[in-house]
Homo-oligomer: A and B are copies of this chain.
Amino acid sequence: MWFMSDFIASREEEFSKWYLDIVQKAKLVDYSPVKGCMVIMPYGYAIWERIQSVIDDKFKESGHENAYFPLLIPYEFLEREKEHVKGFSPELAVVTTAGGEELREPLVLRPTSETIIWNMYSKWIKSYRDLPIKINQWANIIRWEKRTKPFLRTTEFLWQEGHTAHETSNEAQEEALFILNLYKKFVEDYLAIPVFYGKKTEREKFAGAVSTYTIEALMQDKKALQAGTSHYLGLNFAKAFDVKFQNKNGEMSYVFATSWGVSTRLIGALIMVHSDSKGLILPPKIAPIEILIVPILKKDDDVNKKILEYATTIFDILVKEKFRVEIDKDFKNSPGFRFAASEFKGIPIRIEIGSNDILMDCVTVARRDRDKNSKYQVSFKELLPKIKEELETMQCELFNKALEFRNSNTKEIIGFKENDYDLFKTYIKDNLGFVLSSWCGNEVCEENIKNDTKATIRCIPEDFQDKSLDNVTCIYCNTSAKHFVLFARAY
């Protein structure tokens, strides 16, 4: 396809440009003519399909079903939940004309689907026998964003949104946490991204939620990224849409709700956590192509025929073992160019097959996350176990590397009587990363810290539960602390 220069900006000096270069060179997205909307190109979409396929299976295994609700929502629906409309109004796109006529009532493009779904649930839920409902939807979402960046924040994006309905508060809260845990496991096991998890503060929670739970990851520029959220909505939407059921005692009760989602933003996280100066690095378990076989041809047709046969034999063996594998047939370009192309795309393992290799009944194996001098020959017989081992090791090492980076950029600056807010400020300014600190629970302190440092409370983490709050004070106001909290500057 269209040509792009080899140059990738320095990750250390120009992180933002580095990110955009990788996105372009790996052919993940392209800019569209509509401001803030991206085109997800085949290779980027293939990553999304991998994510969808794994998560969708997990949803179904745990009793969730997929459905599809309308894109267009009457504006009046949003207004029924006060916090919800306040949160989403500024970002709405509105259809005012359709079929050549002005609409009597404007329709908004879904910025999220709680309202239209709870309107339907009011028809579907009559009795405790109808509960729980656990529905998920894969859909496009429109939020009119001022500043956009591919995958991280775009006017249109793709996501899944789960919407469940329950008899009791307990059951709904369990569901919200079950999903949070499912997200955490998925992001850690498949995307090889370690996350902190916990509750959002009142200020940071979803517009319309009682509680928002989040998973938070650290990017290589030491900024945090919210990677998925799960909301306990209490009775807010049941009340807004008058959704009641007859309980086992014959009384009418409101229905408890959750909602939760992850989006194409996860691809942004993947890029910013693992990639390097040569391009994308994909963890094997999520890579659309785990192994690329690169036959290197010479001028001798007989030799070339043997090389291609050898490549096909290996391809067939790997396909049979259910690996996602391709043969590179870009013979018009030099081996160096082709190797670089596979590195741009972050393919975990490259198998090079040249005339010397086949003479020795060998291939050359290169791992994407290793130095280029570390590639080595493997005999045909040893190849399959070796490939399995390398893929597992790479998955593991990428996670460990990211974990080490995250941990070494997570600093404790807890408030005590002799607390030093200046230390906190200076640290965040100079180092970024996560700061585990302590907070009184007052929104004014939270706001002031944000104004001073641009850092927000990412979550009240579940990760440091063994810590005692005795004698601990708010890092800002020095009164008794109510929570340990994780601060960071974030995307």
Residues of A within 8 A of B (CB): 1-3, 30, 32-34, 37-42, 44-46, 48-49, 65-74, 77, 89-100, 106-107, 109, 116, 119-120, 123-126, 129-130, 133, 135, 139-140, 142, 144-146, 155-156, 158, 332
Q: Beyond A3-B126, A107-B34, A130-B1, is A67–B95 a contact (Cβ under 8 Å)?
A: no
Interface of A: prevailing SS = mixed
Q: Which of B69, B97, B155 contacts A94 (CB 8 A)?
A: B97
B66 and A32 within 8 A (CB): no
**In the A-B complex, the 7 residue pairs with the closest CB atoms:** A99-B144, A42-B65, A37-B70, A93-B98, A40-B68, A94-B97, A98-B144
Provide 8 A-B residue pairs closer than 8 Å at the C-beta atoms, listed in order of the A residue. A3-B126, A34-B72, A39-B68, A45-B65, A46-B66, A94-B95, A94-B98, A109-B109
**B-chain residues with CB within 8 Å of residue A123 when the two chains form the complex:** 2, 30
Cα distance A156–B65 in the bound complex, in angstroms = 21
**B-chain residues with CB within 8 Å of residue A91 when the two chains form the complex:** 99
A67 and B94 within 8 A (CB): no
Cα distance A133–B1 in the bound complex, in angstroms = 9
A72 and B126 within 8 A (CB): no
Q: Beyond A2-B124, A99-B90, is A119–B33 a contact (Cβ under 8 Å)?
A: yes
Cα distance A114–B86 in the bound complex, in angstroms = 37
Q: Beyond A45-B67, A68-B39, A90-B100, is A74–B2 a contact (Cβ under 8 Å)?
A: no
B158 and A68 within 8 A (CB): yes
Nearest CB to that of A115 among chain B residues?
A: B33
Number of copies: 2
**B-chain residues with CB within 8 Å of residue A92 when the two chains form the complex:** 98-100
**B-chain residues with CB within 8 Å of residue A107 when the two chains form the complex:** 34, 93
**B-chain residues with CB within 8 Å of residue A46 when the two chains form the complex:** 65-66
A148 to chain B: closest CB distance in Å?
A: 12
Cα distance A109–B70 in the bound complex, in angstroms = 13
Cα distance A49–B37 in the bound complex, in angstroms = 27
A328 to chain B: closest CB distance in Å?
A: 15
**B-chain residues with CB within 8 Å of residue A146 when the two chains form the complex:** 99
A5 to chain B: closest CB distance in Å?
A: 14
Nearest CB to that of A106 among chain B residues?
A: B97
Cα distance A455–B122 in the bound complex, in angstroms = 42
A67 and B96 within 8 A (CB): no
Q: Which of B38, B44, B72, B99 contacts A156 (CB 8 A)?
A: B72
Cα distance A49–B67 in the bound complex, in angstroms = 10
Q: Which of B90, B135, B140 contacts A42 (CB 8 A)?
A: B135
Apart from A2-B123, A93-B107, A100-B144, 15 more pairs, CB < 8 Å: A2-B130, A30-B124, A33-B77, A34-B74, A39-B69, A41-B67, A45-B65, A45-B67, A46-B65, A71-B109, A92-B100, A94-B95, A94-B97, A95-B96, A99-B146
